[in-house]
Structure 1
Amino acid sequence: MARFFTKVAALAALTLGLVGSIEAAPGNSLNYTGSICKDYVDYPVWAPPGVTIAMLEGGLVKAGLNETILGSLKAALPFCSNLFMINTCSGTFPRIDPIPVPNRPNSVNVRFACKSACQSLVTECAEYFTAVGAQAFLPNCEAPILATLQTVPPNGILYQPDGECNKVQSLSNAGAGPANNLTVTCQHPFVADPRPNGKTANEQYCMLGCCMKCPAQYHLYREGALEKGFTITNIIRAVSMVFSFILFLSYCLLPDKRSHPSALILFFSLSVFLFSVVIIFPLVDTRSMQCFDEINPTTQKNSLKCAIQGAMLIFASASTCAWCTVLIINLHLHTVWNSAWLAKKYLMIHTICWGYAAAITGVALGLGEVKWEFATLCLVSQHRAPTLFFYPMAAMIFPAFLVHVATFAHIARISAQASGDSETMSRSTLSAGAAAVISHRRHVMMAIRIQWRAALMAVCSILAVTFYWLFYFIQLKKINPATLKDHIIHFVSCLKKGSPHDFCADELAPFLPPYGLMIAAEGLVSSIGIVIFIVFFKATLVREWGDWFSSIGYLCSGKRKQKKEQDQFFVI
Structure 2
Amino acid sequence: MTRFLTKVTAVAALALGLVGSMTEALGSMAPYNGTLCKNYVNYEVWLPPNTTVADIEGSLTKQGITSSQMSQLTEACYEPFMEYVCSTSFPMADPAGGNTYNVRFGCMSTCQNAFTECSELFTIFNQTAAIPKCDAPIPGSTVYLPPAGVPFQPDGSCNVVHAIQNLGPTGIGNLTAQCDAPFVTDPKTGPGGTTANAQYCMNGCCLPCPAQYSLYRTGALETGFTITNAMRAVSMVLSFILVLSYLILDDKRSHPSALILFFSICVFLFSVVIIFPLIDTRGIQCADLINPSTQQNNLKCAIQGAILVFASVATCGWCTALILNLHFHTVWNSAWFAKKYWLLHILCWGYATAVTAVALGMGEIQWDFATLCLVSQAKAPQIFFYPLAAMIFPAFLVHIATFFHIARISTQAGADSETMSRSTLSAGAAAAISHRRHVMMAIRIQWRAALMAVCAMVSVTFYWLFYFIQLRKINPLTLQNNIIKFVYCLKVGNAHNYCADQLSPFLPPYGLMIAAEFVVSSIGTVIFVVFFKPALIREWGEKFASLGYLMTGRRREVKEQDQFFVI
In 1: Cα distance, 2:174 partner to 2:416 partner? 89
Counterpart residue number, 1:286? 281
User: How far apart are 1:397 and its partner, in Å?
Assistant: 1.1
- CA deviation vs aligned residue, 1:231-257 (integer Å, no higher than 9, x gap): 000000000000000001000000121
Counterpart residue number, 1:68? none
Counterpart residue number, 1:51? 17
Q: Aligned runs of 1:45-444 on 2, under 5 Å?
A: 47-51=13-17, 111-114=55-58, 122-124=67-69, 126=71, 128-130=73-75, 132=76, 134=78, 138=82, 147=90, 184-196=177-189, 197-444=192-439
User: How far apart are 1:125 and its partner, in Å?
Assistant: 5.1
* Contact map agreement 1:313 1:379 (CA 8 A) in 2: yes
Counterpart among 462, 482, 496 of residue 491 in structure 2: 496
Counterpart among 448, 458, 462 of residue 463 in structure 1: 458
Quickly say closer, same or farther: Cα 1:413–1:45, change in 2 above 3 A.
closer
Quickly say closer, same or farther: Cα 1:108–1:466, change in 2 above 3 A.
closer
User: How far apart are 1:282 and its partner, in Å?
Assistant: 0.4
Provide the secondary structure at the position in 1 that maps to 2:294.
coil
In 2: Cα distance, 1:41 partner to 1:479 partner? 38
In 2: Cα distance, 1:303 partner to 1:38 partner? 41
State the AA in 1 paired with 2:17.
V
Provide the secondary structure at the position in 2 that maps to 1:441.
helix
Provide the secondary structure at the position in 1 that maps to 2:71.
helix
User: How far apart are 1:287 and its partner, in Å?
Assistant: 0.8
Moved more, 201-210 or 352-361: 201-210
User: How far apart are 1:129 and its partner, in Å?
Assistant: 3.0
State the AA in 1 paired with 2:272.
V
- Give me the TM-score of the superposition, normalised by structure 2: 0.75
State the AA in 2 paired with 1:112.
I
User: How far apart are 1:204 and its partner, in Å?
Assistant: 1.4
Quickly say closer, same or farther: Cα 1:553–1:42, change in 2 above 3 A.
closer
- CA deviation vs aligned residue, 1:70-118 (integer Å, no higher than 9, x gap): xxxxxxxxxxxxxx9xxxxxxxxxxx9xxxxxxxxx9589943447569
* Contact map agreement 1:215 1:291 (CA 8 A) in 2: yes
Quickly say closer, same or farther: Cα 1:112–1:401, change in 2 above 3 A.
same
* Contact map agreement 1:125 1:208 (CA 8 A) in 2: no
- CA deviation vs aligned residue, 1:385-412 (integer Å, no higher than 9, x gap): 0000000011011100110000000000
Structure 1 runs not aligned, ≥5 long: 1-36, 57-83, 85-95, 97-105, 154-169
Provide the secondary structure at the position in 2 that maps to 1:214.
coil
Quickly say closer, same or farther: Cα 1:194–1:119, change in 2 above 3 A.
farther
User: How far apart are 1:42 and its partner, in Å?
Assistant: 12
State the AA in 2 paired with 1:147.
F
User: How far apart are 1:206 and its partner, in Å?
Assistant: 1.6
* Contact map agreement 2:6 2:63 (CA 8 A) in 1: no
State the AA in 2 paired with 1:471.
F
Quickly say closer, same or farther: Cα 1:234–1:547, change in 2 above 3 A.
same
- Give me the TM-score of the superposition, normalised by structure 1: 0.74
User: How far apart are 1:555 and its partner, in Å?
Assistant: 2.5
Structure 2 runs not aligned, ≥5 long: 23-35, 37-47, 100-121, 129-171
In 1: Cα distance, 2:309 partner to 2:432 partner? 45
In 2: Cα distance, 1:328 partner to 1:54 partner? 80
Provide the secondary structure at the position in 1 that maps to 2:373.
strand
User: How far apart are 1:567 and its partner, in Å?
Assistant: 9.1
In 2: Cα distance, 1:336 partner to 1:44 partner? 86
Provide the secondary structure at the position in 2 that maps to 1:374.
coil
Percent of paired sites with the same residue: 63
State the AA in 1 paired with 2:520.
V
Provide the secondary structure at the position in 2 that maps to 1:257.
coil
State the AA in 1 paired with 2:536.
L
Counterpart residue number, 2:449? 454
- CA deviation vs aligned residue, 1:447-476 (integer Å, no higher than 9, x gap): 000000000011111111111111111111
Quickly say closer, same or farther: Cα 1:246–1:44, change in 2 above 3 A.
closer
State the AA in 2 paired with 1:390.
F
In 1: Cα distance, 2:93 partner to 2:420 partner? 104
In 2: Cα distance, 1:223 partner to 1:195 partner? 27
Quickly say closer, same or farther: Cα 1:557–1:174, change in 2 above 3 A.
closer
- CA deviation vs aligned residue, 1:314-338 (integer Å, no higher than 9, x gap): 0000000000000000000000000
* Contact map agreement 1:127 1:207 (CA 8 A) in 2: no
Provide the secondary structure at the position in 2 that maps to 1:256.
coil
* Contact map agreement 2:72 2:174 (CA 8 A) in 1: no
* Contact map agreement 2:5 2:63 (CA 8 A) in 1: no
Counterpart residue number, 2:143? none
* Contact map agreement 2:186 2:206 (CA 8 A) in 1: yes
Is 1:476 matched with 2:471? yes
User: How far apart are 1:184 and its partner, in Å?
Assistant: 2.7
In 1: Cα distance, 2:369 partner to 2:10 partner? 57
Provide the secondary structure at the position in 2 that maps to 1:222.
coil
State the AA in 1 paired with 2:431.
A
CA RMSD of superposed structures (Å): 3.8
State the AA in 1 paired with 2:90.
A
Quickly say closer, same or farther: Cα 1:380–1:136, change in 2 above 3 A.
farther
